[in-house]
Amino acid sequence: MHTVTITICGILLTLLAAFIQPVQAETLPDKITIESLKDLYGPVTFGHAQHIARERDCAVCHHHTNGAPASQEKCLRCHRGGHEVKSMGCKSCHEKQPFSVEQVNGKFKNNLQFHQDKPGLKASYHLSCIGCHKQKGAGPVACVDCHVLTSSGEAFYRAGKNAPDPNKAGKTGHH
């Protein structure tokens, strides 16, 4: 009797293990270096492992793309089972140029209602990071918490060595 129970349990566990795909720990990056704005800012290091440890649920950032059900209720109507995609990086869905002629013209061509308002790559990073950090009251929210200006960044913002001369202030414009 005992052996039968143990065998059944064993079979069930094997089945369960087959259904719940084990996280491929060796393929998950611990740290991700984001350099898409490298002309203005130094690279930003994202603690992927640190966020997995805190968040547990991949769907918070990866929506429905890792095979797990989506975390947001409105997505669940279509993505209850999730569907795993080949590349889970943000940039495989979120465009670098969200306002290109093709994107702008094609915006309402598809009838995927919830995908029409998909932000571009840069905005996805910032909306996810800052949105979550603000909501949880933890993590960096100010620009300088993540970004170090490069010399061309300083020229763009007229900051650092490109800062305006305070003695000349008030010479331009009127208020």
Q: Is there a contact between 67 and 83 (Cβ–Cβ < 8 Å)?
A: yes
Site of interaction with other proteins (CB under 8 A): 74, 98-99, 101, 104, 107-108, 113-114, 116-117, 119-120, 122-123, 125-127, 130, 141, 143-144, 149, 156-160, 162-164, 168-170, 172-175
Q: Which is nearer to other proteins, 69 or 160 (CB)?
A: 160
Q: Is there a contact between 30 and 48 (Cβ–Cβ < 8 Å)?
A: yes
- Coil/strand/helix, residue 25: helix
Q: For the CB of residue 147, give the shortest distance to other proteins in the complex, in Å.
A: 9
Q: For the CB of residue 127, give the shortest distance to other proteins in the complex, in Å.
A: 6
Q: Which is nearer to other proteins, 29 or 164 (CB)?
A: 164
Q: Which residues contact 147 (CB under 8 A, 6 or more apart)?
A: 37, 41, 42, 44, 153
The partner residues of 33 in beta bridges, in order of sequence, read 45
Q: For the CB of residue 101, give the shortest distance to other proteins in the complex, in Å.
A: 4
Q: Is there a contact between 34 and 43 (Cβ–Cβ < 8 Å)?
A: yes
Q: For the CB of residue 82, give the shortest distance to other proteins in the complex, in Å.
A: 20
Dist. CA 125–CA 123, nearest whole Å? 5
